Amino acid sequence: MSNWNPEDDKLAVLAKGARSRVQAKVGAALRDETGRTYASAEVEVGSLKLSAVEMVVAQAVASGSTGVESVVVSPKAQINVSDSDLELVRTFAGAGVPIYVIDETGNPVDTRLT
């Protein structure tokens, strides 16, 4: 992917780790406008269902972030980033934020821009 950079490699490691730590189907990591990173996995508890992207955006907002440089999503199996996840990042950070989906080796296989 043409815009992928070494900082995104770090996000890939964080997203994979978040997913593996709790045996989730999807993990995500986000780098905010100051370079801080957040990582989480999807959550399913009873009727509460939050995507990994919703979780990392919520963490960033709760920490005072006002923007996003990049998001990396690590699924167990190939997925498409949902329209609602794209809209959430766009609403929070504006247009043009890349959301990368990686494979098991940490390499980007898909990119969507908000």
- Residue 71 φ/ψ, nearest 5 degrees: -130, 135
Q: Is the pLDDT of residue 2 over 80?
A: no
Burial pattern 4-29, b for ≥16 Cβ within 10 A else e, equals beeebebbbebbbebbeeeebebbbb
Would you kindly state where each structural domain of the chain is located, as residue ranges? 6-113
pLDDT of residue 78: 83
- 7 near 15, Cβ under 8 Å? no
What pTM was estimated for this model as a whole? 0.94
pLDDT tens by residue, 49-87: 999 999 999 999 999 999 999 999 999 988 889 999 999
Contact in structure between 114 and 90 (CB atoms under 8 Å): yes
Q: Report the CATH fold assignment for 6-113.
A: Cytidine Deaminase; domain 2 (3.40.140)
